[in-house]
A and B are shown apart, each in its own frame.
Chain A
Amino acid sequence: MFKGKKAVNVLHVWVELFAFTLLVIGFFVSIAIKSAFLSYAVVFLFGLMSGRFIYMRKNYAFAYFIIAGLLVGYLLGNRYGDWRITFLLFVVGMAAMYIFEGQRWLKEIGA
C-alpha cells in the first residue's frame, strides 16, 4: 500500500511531534483568549492537566519535555497576562494536581 513512500518514522520522533503539537495548541489557545483573567484561568487548568500527566509518568524525561512544549507555546501566544504570573499559575496548578493525585481521593479512569 505504501511502497516507495518516504515517511517519518513516528515511533522515533513521537516525543518531539507530541511536544510540537502541544506547543501549537498552547499558542492558539493562548492567542484566542481576550482577557488576562481568563488567560490565567486557562493556564491554571493546563497546569492541572500537566500535573496529572507528570504524576503518571514522573520517571520519564519525555513527560517534562512535552509539558515544556505546551508551556512555551502558551507563553508565546500570551497577549494580555504577565508572563511571570502565567508561569507561576502553571506551576501552582501542576503542583496542586500532583499532590491531589498522590492522595488518591478520587478513583479516576485512563492514564
Chain B
Amino acid sequence: MSMLINYGELTDRIKKHFKFTPEELRAIVIGILIMAFIISFDRWGVKNFDFMLGLKNLFGAVLIVALAMLLRISAQRVQALSVGLKIEYRPWIYGLLAGLVVIIVTNGKLWLLAPGGILVYHLAGHRLGYFRYGLNTWPIGVCGMVGIWANLFLAAVFKLLIPHFPENILLHQAMTFNVWYAVYQSLPIPPLDGSHIFFASRLLFVFNIAAVAVFALSIYFLSIFVSLMIAIVIAALVWLVYYWVFETKYIQY
C-alpha cells in the first residue's frame, strides 16, 4: 500500500516542503484567535465583566489552541510528506462563524470547533514507484486520521500532567479542548478531517469515529491505557456490526 522511506529522505522532504505559506500563517492565526475566544467566552468575570481577567484567560486559551493546532497540522504534514504529498491548511469561514454564533447563543456552554481543513497536493517525483502514482483518497484519509489522533495524544499528555499540577485550570481546559477538537474533526462534514476518512473508506471511518468517541468519553474517568484498549475493542465491535448490518446488505459492489 505505501512505501517506507528512510529517515534521511523524510528529513530532506521536511526541510524542503514543511514551511508554512503566508496565507496559511494568516489562516492559522485567525483560527487560533477565534477558537481561543470561543473556549474563553464564559471566563470574562465571575459575576461582573472583568476585562483583565478575561484577557488573561484569553491569553491562556490562545496558548492552548496554538499548541493543539500546530501539533495537529505538523503531524499531518509529516505524515503527508512521508507518502509524497503536501498539505496546505485552509480556514473554513462558515465553520468559524458558526462557532461564534453557537457560543453566543448557548452563552458559552457549547463549543463548535471547526476552524478549517486540509488541501492535499501531490509532490511530483516523490510519489514515483507508488501504486497509483497521483492523489488517492486513502493516503488523504490517513493524513486526516493522524491529525485527529495527534490531538488525542496531546489530550493524553495533559491528562498525565494533571495529577502533578491538580490546581492548574489551564491543563484541564487544554485536555478538554483537545478532546473536543478531535471529536469535531472526526465528523464527516467537508472540509473536516472526518470527511477525508469517510471518502477513503467507510469502514475506516466507522472504526475511527467509534474509537474517538469512546476514547474521548473514557479518558475523563479511566487511565489512558485502559481508555485506549476499551476504545479499540468497542471500535472493532462497532466496525464488525456495521459491516454485517449495513455493508453486506445495502451496498452493492
Contacts and interface: CB of A to CB of B under 8 A. Distances in A.
A48 interface: yes
A41 interface: yes
Contact of A109 (B26, B101, B105, B116): B116
B134 interface: no
A38 B104 contact: yes
A110 B105 contact: no
B40 to A, nearest CB: 16
Contacts of A49: 93-94, 97-98
Contacts of B116: 109
Contacts, number: 50
B90 A107 contact: yes
- Chain A contact patch, size range: 10 to 19
Contact of B105 (A42, A52, A106, A108): A42
A85 B25 CA distance: 35
Nearest to B190: A110
Contacts of A106: 23, 26-27, 30, 91
Is chain B's interface secondary structure helix, strand, loop, or mixed overall? helix
Contacts of A76: none
Contacts of A46: 101
A15 interface: no
Given A110-B117, A110-B190, A52 B94 contact: yes
B119 A32 contact: no
Contact of A108 (B90, B101, B104): B90
> Is chain A's interface secondary structure helix, strand, loop, or mixed overall?
helix
B27 A107 contact: yes
Contacts of A45: 97, 100-101, 104
B92 interface: yes
A110 B23 contact: no
Interface in A1-49: 29, 32-33, 38, 41-42, 45-46, 48-49
Interface of A: 29, 32-33, 38, 41-42, 45-46, 48-49, 52, 105-110
Interface of B: 23, 26-27, 30, 90-94, 97-98, 100-101, 104-105, 116-117, 119, 190-191
10 contacts: A42-B104, A42-B105, A45-B97, A48-B93, A48-B97, A106-B27, A107-B90, A108-B90, A109-B117, A110-B93
